[in-house]
Chain A
Amino acid sequence: MISDSSNAPLLTIRGLRIEGKAQDAWTPIVKGVDLTVKRGEVFGLIGESGAGKSTIGLAAMGFVRDGCRFAGGSVLFDGIELIGAPRKVRLGMRSSRIAYVAQSAAASFNPAFRLIDQHGEFPVLRGLMTRAEAEANAIELYRKLQLPNPDEIGFRYPHQVSGGQLQRAMTAMAMACRPDLIIFDEPTTALDVTTQIEVLSAIRDAVQSLGTAAIYVSHDLAVVAQMADKIMVLRNGETVEEAPTRTMLSSPRHDYTKSLWAVRSFRAPSRPDAEPPPPLVRIESVDAAYGAVKVLSDVSFVLPKGRTVAVVGESGSGKSTLAKVLMGLLPAKAGCVELAGKTLPPSYRERTKADLRQVQMIYQMADTALNPRQRVREIVGRPISFYLGLKGKALEARTRQLLQDMELDPDIYIDRLPSELSGGQKQRVGIARALAADPQLVICDEVTSSLDQLVAESVLKLLVRLQRERDLTYMFITHDLATVRAIADEVVVMKEGKVVEKGPKDEMFRPPHHPYTGLLLSSVPEMDPDWLTRLTAKNTMAVNT
């Protein structure tokens, strides 16, 4: 039987406005957002970076980040106004009534203490539990969150458990005092897809069985769709729309929401091959190791000219190491890399300028890939003058042309520093730098994974267009199968330093799969609120039979 009180809102946010200080002036970050969370309800907040979703998540606890302030509105938690409440009141709420799970559990745990000690720290400190009670509580929650060896795992240190386990231990910590509300801020964003599933289903089951209300912040629609009863889409600190999950997925009303939904449907137009293109790069039984630790063993495949080969795998599968071998940064222990019929020397130091020019790389983190003290003119211009020897007017013209090709207006951007560019623009400058060398092979290392979905899509479209125009060959390293679906011609699946499967994209996405490929494919969240339920049911059946 459901009592009346369970229908009363637990959290009511009205007209919330938050400002942040930028260049000595207060600028609005959140511009009047209303939301209501009922008891036991999971509320999803979706938006791109800078939309204000994490800020709202913190505001639900009555907190703002340093350099920000409440400019108006109210946050009413179970009848208590949190904005302007004394610090003591807000701290009293923390953990016992409202808890928070951060994106990076690895950065949030103290590496010097065992998990179970940290689990009990808060309740013991506040006198809510004794140490023994806290330990029993931890073990019970570890079991609920399906951690392996729940009786023992708490006695390990944070570095002794995996990222997914750490994230679940942190959720357990948040649940220690049975709070009424938990705020999850992108709890699975840093995890691999297969790990993400475990964490998602563990969190969902635990939240459901304890009847905890939750605010789930994420940029990944498919993930939120599994977790939330209700979804709110945010943009630039304003509500775009709010609806129950199923309604939102089946009939989004706002254009912005529709465009978010459409991102995943981008496909590079397929090219029917009259005859298969000749191979540009041949990787033959490459072994590589960091010191004594072997990371690649017997890797062989071919990159056809003018095509995109996606190298897929989870973190630690050796896909980035493979890029290092191709670049010559990590000389292969055995095997060889052939480019256009010529064997490349293993180390970049031994390669000629002409060899180096042929292989260029686009990095994952544009922030560290661009020298913060160089202007776009120099970043893009240097490879042109270095490899092609252009100077003065010719160099200037070529640089501007390249920026134009990247859909960046040279008049505006050529004299900017990287810090004056947005994430997507930085990545475009990174692409311009790679193409400035006029290479044949471009290695793209997770180039879209730190970008928002809409920006990522535009970068992918740009890469596809450039490939057509310049007959480029891409080796596209990614863990995101949606990206693979969008632009790959061929796929190579890697696991623990070995190639487990390779072939044309269409074959890879069609059964029968190698078991690992199948696992990867089935782990990609779909835009269907029942996907996780179905998947876990299937997995349970598979285990039982």
Chain B
Amino acid sequence: MTTLTRTLKGMPPTAVFGVAIITIYVLVAIFAPMLAPYSERAVVGGQYLQWSAEHWLGTDNLGRDMLSRLIFGARNTLAIAFFATALAFAIGTVAGLLAATLGGMVDQALSRFVDIIMAVPGLIFILLLLTIFGTGVGTLIAVIAILDSTRVFRLARAVALGIVAMDFVEAARVRGEGLLWIMRREILPNAAAPLVAEFGMRFCFVFLTIASLSFLGLGIQPPLADWGSMVRENATLITFGDITPLLPAAAIALITVAVNFVVDWILHKVSGIKD
């Protein structure tokens, strides 16, 4: 494990900060039921209570504990964002590598199909699909993943096109290797670096998409807590000089910054293959 310690030693402070924040978020998400003083859906007091020893961050518009909802919100928002991004990458990478490796008609068909999806403004596209299929968590993940996979597809295809032209891919082809081997063993490891970096970026965007959808009332449905809708529900408090509704927004901002710090660092690490 010397490589791990060496990697950690060379980490810039921004990356350490990013990793620390992400770790904290993940821990909070996993241990939410133990950490939160109340349930996310229980009405525990009056509406819009001030910060107090009993309710550290006060209560929301329905009298639910803000802190508890913030903690449970990490769970819902992070999990959905993670699975949506992962699914988007699974779809986009496989399709992108297929298009690059096979070329010809397959490439044309996939690329033009993706062009068509991308021609429709993203948010409108999502709203449309969510209106048709309803707003369950599963649908939400699937719809966001499909939309995001188009961008992943473009990146994966572009990166893979450069690798497909290499002699070692040619060597694998004339050896008689199957498509799966060529994609998985010859191309993917060499395309991994930009894809990993893109994963971090897309993760942030998915996050923002969910937040904006929740803000519009189409994202994660009540009574599940999520940061986007928490801002919306309690937005009126801002007019009274209370910063509580800004806390979930700050939580989103912080994870976005943290993920980007880590992505930045990964990009630096992998830009030279030799390292």
Contact = CB atoms under 8 A, between A and B. Distances in A.
A430 B58 CA distance: 68
A92 interface: no
B269 to A, nearest CB: 14
Contact of A372 (B171, B175, B190): B190
A329 B169 CA distance: 12
B175 A329 contact: no
Contact of A368 (B166, B173, B175, B274): B166
A305 to B, nearest CB: 22
A356 B192 CA distance: 30
Interface residues of B, number: 17
Interface of B is mostly: helix
B71 to A, nearest CB: 41
Interface in A361-384: 361, 363, 365, 368-374, 382-383
B168 A370 contact: yes
A77 B76 CA distance: 71
Contacts of A419: 273-274
A361 B176 contact: no
B186 interface: yes
A386 B167 contact: no
B173 A348 contact: yes
Given A329-B170, A433-B171, 9 more contacts: A329-B173, A363-B171, A368-B167, A373-B273, A382-B175, A383-B175, A386-B175, A419-B273, A437-B175
A329 B185 CA distance: 21
18 contacts: A328-B174, A329-B170, A329-B173, A329-B174, A348-B176, A353-B176, A356-B174, A356-B175, A361-B174, A363-B167, A369-B168, A370-B168, A371-B186, A371-B190, A372-B273, A373-B190, A419-B273, A433-B171
B174 A327 contact: yes
Interface string A3-44: 000000000000000000000000000000000000000000
A361 B171 contact: yes
B242 interface: no
A328 B173 CA distance: 10
Nearest to B193: A373
Is the interface on chain A under 10, 10 to 19, 20 to 34, or 35 or more residues?
A: 20 to 34
Nearest to A355: B176
A422 to B, nearest CB: 14
Interface string B145-168: 000000000000000000000111
Nearest to B191: A373
Contacts of A363: 167, 171
A419 B168 CA distance: 14
B177 interface: yes
A437 B176 CA distance: 12
A367 B273 CA distance: 13
A348 B174 contact: yes
Interface in B170-190: 170-171, 173-177, 185-186, 189-190
A437 B175 CA distance: 9
Interface of A: 327-329, 348, 351, 353, 356, 359, 361, 363, 365, 368-374, 382-383, 386-387, 419, 433, 437
B26 to A, nearest CB: 28
A359 to B, nearest CB: 8
A370 B168 CA distance: 5
A419 B171 CA distance: 19
> Lowest 3 CB-CB distances: which A-B pairs, in order?
A373-B189, A369-B167, A371-B168
B189 A371 contact: yes
Contact of B185 (A368, A374, A433): A374
Contact of B177 (A351, A369, A372, A386): A386
A351 B177 CA distance: 12
A532 B208 CA distance: 71
A326 to B, nearest CB: 10
A165 B158 CA distance: 35
Nearest to B186: A371
Contact of A369 (B171, B175, B185, B274): B171
A329 B164 CA distance: 14
Nearest to B177: A386
Contacts of B171: 361, 363, 369, 433
Given A368-B168, A371-B190, A386 B176 contact: yes
Contacts of A387: 175
Listed residue (A373, A374, A382, A387) with the most chain B CB atoms within 10 angstroms of its CB? A373
Contacts of A374: 185, 189
A370 B189 CA distance: 13
Nearest to B187: A371
A433 B176 CA distance: 14
A356 B176 CA distance: 7
A371 B173 CA distance: 13
Interface string B182-206: 0001100110100000000000000
A327 B175 CA distance: 10
Contacts of A353: 176
A419 B173 CA distance: 23
A5 to B, nearest CB: 49
